[in-house]
Structure 1
Amino acid sequence: MRLEGFAELEAELRKLSKGTGKGALRRALRKSAQPLADKMEAGAPKDEGELRDSIGVSTKLSARQRKLHRKAVRDDKASVEMFVGAGPLPQAHLTEFGTSNQAPQPFARPAWDSDQQDMLNRLKAELWAEIEKTVKRAEARAARAARGR
């Protein structure tokens, strides 16, 4: 995977306050990841309605997912994380990878493979838009404050 233009985005994010930057990142991530979730949902087996309905974009994990995630990332403190995929259903990974009694019915990996570069391009565009909106709001607040003095 090749990333271009994200160093400039990071430099612009650093100009914002920590909370404002995190908010912009969350909004951009959620908006750019939703089409990936839609592809996963479309590719999920039709007879697995509960699985299809659980697919989404969120900042939260189930208790089990959180425990596994902590083991995977240890002390890596990402500033913002967004998760795309099935909810905390025991059959989600069994459907994706199969079992000795069930053939795999992949829905997440094919969606990711077909959408990863598009998602990164959407993220870059959304993040620039969020940064520009945030800067304009800050300038407008500063102008109002200056007029009020």
Structure 2
Amino acid sequence: MSIGFKVDGFRDMERALAGLKRGTAKAVVRRALKKVLKPVAEAADASMFQISVTSKLSPRQRAAASGDFIGSIVSMYIGPIDDEGRGAPHAHLIEFGTGPRKHKSGKFVGAVMPEPFMRPAWDANKAEMLERLKREIWTEIQKTLDRTAARNARAGRR
């Protein structure tokens, strides 16, 4: 199944981001993505896990997500964390469930029925997410330009 849609304004946004320093542009996009993904995290947070939006992964997660970095300038991740703020390695067992589990002796030890919490949160928010992202990036670009102008004015530069 494929879904078609039309988005306007991203080419202009790309030009505006190109006018900023690389690190500044990345920070602008990260801040905007965090704001846009917050409703997804809040919707999924009703589950048994606390949900985090971050650009940082643990070494184990980084190895599993190594393909995500190809050709990407900014990557953001949203997912469950445990009480200590680390990734919750057992969360996928709740999200997707497990098949019947048996010991080598043949003893049946149960199965976990899937209780999705991330997918419904994503599906409920994805429709308007692109439009919100566009608005947030433009807002962050304008705030960054305003801060830069104020900093230059204080320093006596043009």
Q: TM-score, normalised by structure 1?
A: 0.82
In the comparison of the two structures, how many residue pairs are matched? 138
Contact 1:30 1:57 in 2 (8 A): yes
Alignment of 1:68 with 2:68, yes or no, is no
Compute the displacement of 1:90 (Å): 2.4
CA-to-aligned-CA distance 1:41-96 (integer Å, 9 cap, x gap): 12x2xxx3xxx12x1111111222110101x33x6142111111113222211111
Whose radius of gyration is greater, 1 or 2?
Answer: 2
**1:146 shift after superposition:** 3.6
Measure, in 2, the Cα distance between the counterparts of 1:3 and 1:20.
28
Write the distance in 2 (CA, Å) between the matches of 1:3 and 1:66.
33
User: RMSD across aligned C-alpha pairs, in angstroms?
Assistant: 2.0
2:36 to 24, 32, 36: 32
Summarize the alignment of residues 71-110 of structure 1 with structure 2, pairs less than 5 Å apart: 72-73=67-68, 76-87=70-81, 88-100=87-99, 101-110=111-120
Distance 1:3 1:58, change over 3 A: farther
Gaps of 5+ in 1: none
Q: Which moved more, 1:5-14 or 1:100-109?
A: 5-14
Higher strand share: 2
SS in structure 2 of the partner of residue 84 of structure 1:
strand
Partner residue of 2:53 out of 47, 57, 60: 57
Q: CA deviation at 1:3?
A: 5.7
Identity across matched positions, percent: 45
CA–CA separation in structure 2 for the residues paired with 1:3 and 1:91:
38
> Cα offset for 1:11?
1.2
Q: TM-score, normalised by structure 2?
A: 0.78
